[in-house]
Homo-oligomer: A and B are copies of this chain.
Amino acid sequence: MAIVLYDLVGVDDRRFSPNCWRTRLALAHKGLDCDARPTRFTEIGSICGGGQKTIPVIEDGDSIVGDSWAIANYLEDTYPDRPSLFGGDGGRAVSVFFQNWVNTIVNPGVIKSVIADIHDHLTPEDQGYFRATRENFLGGRLEDIQSGREERLAAFRATLTPLRQTLKAGPFVCGDGPLYADYLAFAPFQWARSISPFKLLDDDDPITGWFQRCLDLYDGLGRQSKGYD
């Protein structure tokens, strides 16, 4: 039986949530069938009998697991004979730091570049919710936050130096093949690709080549998803 993933969706079936992409690729990495059910922001409260506040959430038989990091650990521990997401306990440990780097350095740079574009690719029901919650959290109008993204681009790209250095030395963050850290870093760029034509990376950036390789993984799972190319 396929594992159900409640997967955030905008208009045109755009699957844009970075945290859902972490889970989507973790499931594919493990070779587990996935029923990725399109879920709008305003539907999250009614999935799994209610009580969920964020997605991803997965249903695996009787198990309901939320939070992308908890899901990755659940999959690793529940399916130990399938390809490892972490490559051992040390990989799991250092992936915590890597996730913190993505969450505190990459994601904020991406969100400030595309937050109004996210809004513009949501269904009308979700637009009001998104604007109210994000403008309250970020302390400004979405359009004002996004404004000036061209001028901030060089500084954003500079924050990616450690990732760029790593990808100069090998095809994936984790070497010859991807592990969960690759999916952590892929997620914010797939987020942007899904809902914005804004070009975050130069064509000759090693991060661009790696992102294209990630889009091709698992029969083009990421590339087949609606986005701007």
Contact = CB atoms under 8 A, between A and B. Distances in A.
A179 B161 CA distance: 23
A84 interface: yes
Given A90-B88, A90-B91, A97 B175 contact: no
Interface string A158-199: 000111011001100111000101000000000000000000
Contacts of A92: 90
A93 B93 contact: no
A175 B100 contact: no
A94 interface: yes
The copy count of this chain in the complex is 2
Interface in A72-112: 84, 86-98, 100-101, 103-105
Given A104-B162, A161-B105, A162-B104, A87 B91 contact: yes
Contacts of A94: 90-91, 94-95, 98, 173-174, 179, 181
Contact of A105 (B162, B169, B173): B162
B162 A90 contact: no
Given A84-B90, A88-B89, A93-B174, 7 more contacts: A87-B89, A87-B91, A90-B179, A91-B91, A91-B93, A97-B163, A100-B165
23 contacts: A87-B88, A88-B88, A88-B89, A89-B91, A90-B91, A90-B95, A91-B94, A93-B181, A94-B98, A94-B179, A96-B175, A97-B98, A97-B173, A98-B98, A100-B161, A100-B163, A101-B101, A101-B162, A103-B162, A103-B165, A104-B161, A104-B165, A105-B162
